[in-house]
Amino acid sequence: MKLRKVTAASAAVLALAVAATACGSDNDKDSGSSGGGKKIKIGIKYDQPGLGLKEPDGSFSGFDVDVATYVAKQLGYTPGQIEWVETKSADRENALQRGDVKFIAATYSINDERKQKVDFAGPYLLAHQDLLIKKDSTISKGTDLNGKKLCSVTGSTSAQNVHDTIAPKAQLKEYSGYSECIAALQSGAVDAVTTDDSILAGFAAQDKYKGQFKLAGLKLSNENYGVGVKKSDTATVDKINAALEKMVSDGSWQKAVDANFGPAGYKNEPAPKIGQIVK
């Protein structure tokens, strides 16, 4: 009788140990591995309407969010398995190098300097520096900004580029964020706002601004948006590229463009070819 008690107790301990080991195995899965883990961490912007925006209810919306969600699905993750991580422009390379996220879709323009630190899949969108102006504005070319008030955010080179190369008599106004610039445009405090056309279109598409603004369509620069991946992770780059190609071929890419930018009259470029960078 005594022996049976010890044996039963031992069996119970063994069962608990096995269960704990099994639980530990699940929790130790790589959350960044393609498909196998319970979660995947993806970097996006939280403050760019139409691209990457955290809504008041805690959900996320925007073109970058749609692209990232589609890519994650092709990697084997459901929307519920995605953990969105805010990655501001200045911290994108560090976030990838530290392994904070598996990949980043956050208006991340591909350039030679960044390619020294991270790898890119894509591009998945060709954007251009442009102007956002009021619907009834007569501004139609860069030189029309001479004598006008041009807004961009503090630290951005967009407005300075316009001033230095196109309209030297433009009056530069700097605000802490693009939402402030758009509000200033609405009130008449400035005559135009400049940054990437996709960003401008996203803000203009907000319900409170619909029908008030338009893009000038000047194409002042080429911005090739790519999906940032940790340096030398070629396997993930290849999988994301395949996902992006499928997103274009099945019509999901154009659907996402229309849904997020259409209300601002955004005339998007055709979906770029993978690996094709427009200088």
C-alpha dihedral sign at 28, 84, 274, 92: negative
Q: What whole-number distance in Å separates Cα of residue 221 and Cα of residue 3?
A: 82
DSSP 75: T
Give SS3 for 54. strand
Cβ 35 vs Cβ 75: under 8 Å: yes
pLDDT tens per residue across span 61-99: 999 999 999 999 999 999 999 999 999 998 999 999 999
Q: What whole-number distance in Å separates Cα of residue 102 and Cα of residue 32?
A: 5
Helix extents (H) in the chain: 2-27, 63-74, 92-98, 112-115, 158-165, 178-187, 197-204, 234-249, 252-261
What pLDDT shows up at residue 37? 56
Q: What whole-number distance in Å separates Cα of residue 180 and Cα of residue 279?
A: 30
What pLDDT shows up at residue 262? 79
Residue 77 structure tokens? 């993750």
CB atoms near residue 254 (< 10 Å): 14
DSSP 208: T
Helix extents (H) in 125-233: 158-165, 178-187, 197-204
pLDDT bin (cut points 50, 70, 90) of residue 14 is: very low
Q: What whole-number distance in Å separates Cα of residue 87 and Cα of residue 42?
A: 9
pLDDT tens per residue across span 191-248: 999 999 999 999 988 889 988 999 999 999 999 999 999 999 999 999 999 999 999 9
Q: What percent of the chain has pLDDT over 70?
A: 87
What pLDDT shows up at residue 143? 96
Cβ 106 vs Cβ 84: under 8 Å: no
Residue 269's φ and ψ, nearest 5 degrees, are -70, 155
Q: What whole-number distance in Å separates Cα of residue 183 and Cα of residue 179?
A: 6
What pLDDT shows up at residue 265? 74
Least confident of 5-19, 74-88, 165-179, 258-272: 5-19
pLDDT bin (cut points 50, 70, 90) of residue 7 is: very low
What pLDDT shows up at residue 207? 87
pLDDT tens per residue across span 139-176: 999 999 999 999 998 877 888 889 999 999 999 999 98
Residue 206's φ and ψ, nearest 5 degrees, are -60, 145
Give SS3 for 257. helix
Residue with the bigger pLDDT between 264 and 138: it is 138
pLDDT bin (cut points 50, 70, 90) of residue 267 is: confident
Residue 47's φ and ψ, nearest 5 degrees, are -125, 25
